[in-house]
Amino acid sequence: MNRCHGKVDGGARMREGYGMEDCAGGSSHRRVFRTAIFAALFLMALSPAVRGEEPRPMTPGEIHSMPRDEAALARPVKVRGVVTYAYPEQIGDFVIEDESGGLYIQAAEPRGKSSRPVPGTLVEVTGMTGEGGYAPVVTAKAIKALGTAPLPVARPATVNQLLTGRFDSRRVEVRGVVQHAEARNQVEKFGLELDGEFGRVTVLALDPGAFTPADLIDAEVTVRAVCFPFFNERAQVAGVRLEMGSAEEIEINRPPFEKVFSTPLVALDRLQPFSPIGNNFHRKRIRGTVTLIKPGSYLYLQDGDHAVRVNLAGDSTVQVGDRIEAVGFPSVRTRFVEWHRSVIRKTGTAPVPPPVASTPERILRTGLSVAERAQNDWDGRLITLTGRLDRVEILKDGQCQLYIESGGQITQAILGWRDQTGFIASLRPGSSISATGICVVQYSDVWPATRYADPTGMSLLLRHSSDIRVLRAASWWTPTRLRLSLGVILAVLLASLAWARSLRREVVKRTAALVSETRARRDAEVEFNATSRERERMAVDLHDTVEQALTGVSYQLQVSEALHAGQPQRSLQHLDLAKQLLAQSREEVRRSVWNLRAQALNGRNLAEVLRDVAAGLSTRNPARTHVSVIGEERDLPDFIAGHLLLLAQESMTNAIKHAKPENIRITLEFGEGSVELRVHDDGIGFDPVNAPGLSEGHLGLQGMRERMKRLGGTVKVESAPGQGTTIRARVPLPA
**Total Cβ atoms within 10 A of residue 499:** 10
**Total Cβ atoms within 10 A of residue 531:** 11
Omega of the bond prior to 448 within 30 degrees of 0, cis?
yes
Pairwise CA distance, residues 164 & 35, whole Å: 33
CATH number at residue 215: 2.40.50.140
Domain assignment present for 164: no
**175-233 pLDDT tens trace:** 999 999 998 877 778 899 999 999 999 999 998 888 888 889 999 999 999 999 999 99
Domain assignment present for 179: yes
For position 689, what pLDDT does the model report?
79
- In this structure, the answer to whether residues 363 and 324 fall within a common structural domain is no
Compute, in degrees rounded to 10, the torsion defined by CA atoms 69, 73, 77, 82: 40
- In this structure, the answer to whether residues 230 and 262 fall within a common structural domain is no
CA dihedral sign of residues 241, 242, 248, 253: negative
User: What is the number of domains present in the chain?
Assistant: 6
- In this structure, the answer to whether residues 605 and 721 fall within a common structural domain is yes
Domain boundary among 334, 353, 372: 353
**Total Cβ atoms within 10 A of residue 533:** 19
Domain assignment present for 704: yes
- What Cα–Cα distance (Å) separates residue 350 from each residue in 271, 321, 324, 529? 22, 6, 10, 113
For position 528, what pLDDT does the model report?
67
- In this structure, the answer to whether residues 58 and 176 fall within a common structural domain is no
Are 262 and 167 within 8 A, CB to CB?
no
- In this structure, the answer to whether residues 129 and 24 fall within a common structural domain is yes
Q: Which of 433, 104, 456, 85 is nearest to 243 (CA)?
A: 85
3-state class (DSSP) for residue 58? strand
For position 26, what pLDDT does the model report?
41
Alpha-carbon radius of gyration of the chain: 61
3-state class (DSSP) for residue 226? strand
- In this structure, the answer to whether residues 268 and 249 fall within a common structural domain is no
Segments of the chain with pLDDT less than 50: 1-34, 36-38, 42-43, 46, 49-50, 598-599, 697
For position 699, what pLDDT does the model report?
56
Domain boundary among 596, 623, 648: 596
Domain assignment present for 511: yes
For position 682, what pLDDT does the model report?
93
CATH number at residue 69: 2.40.50.200
- In this structure, the answer to whether residues 332 and 267 fall within a common structural domain is yes
For position 113, what pLDDT does the model report?
53
Domain assignment present for 153: no
For position 593, what pLDDT does the model report?
62
CATH number at residue 619: 3.30.565.10
- In this structure, the answer to whether residues 185 and 247 fall within a common structural domain is yes
Domain boundary among 531, 564, 596: 596
- In this structure, the answer to whether residues 522 and 456 fall within a common structural domain is no
Domain assignment present for 163: no
Q: Which of 626, 607, 606, 604 is nearest to 615 (CA)?
A: 626
Domain residues for 564?
A: 475-596
Residue 77 backbone dihedrals phi, psi, to 5 degrees: -140, 165
Domain assignment present for 4: no
Task: Using DSSP bridges, classify how beta strands 137-148 and 121-130 pair: parallel, antiparallel or unpaired.
Answer: antiparallel
Which residues make Cβ contacts (< 8 Å) with residue 683, sequence separation at least 6? Answer: 655, 658, 659, 660, 661, 662, 724, 725
Pairwise CA distance, residues 465 & 462, whole Å: 7
For position 110, what pLDDT does the model report?
64
Which residues make Cβ contacts (< 8 Å) with residue 352, sequence separation at least 6? Answer: 289, 291, 320, 321, 382
**Quick one: three-class SS letters along 337-381?**
EEEEEEEEEEEEECCCCCCEECCHHHHCCCCCCHHHHHHCCCCCC
For position 112, what pLDDT does the model report?
55
- In this structure, the answer to whether residues 216 and 128 fall within a common structural domain is no
**635-682 pLDDT tens trace:** 888 778 888 888 888 888 888 888 889 999 999 999 988 999 999 999
- In this structure, the answer to whether residues 626 and 552 fall within a common structural domain is no
For position 260, what pLDDT does the model report?
92
Domain assignment present for 166: no
For position 451, what pLDDT does the model report?
81
For position 419, what pLDDT does the model report?
87
Q: How far from the centroid of its chain's Cα atoms is residue 478's Cα?
A: 23
- In this structure, the answer to whether residues 206 and 322 fall within a common structural domain is no
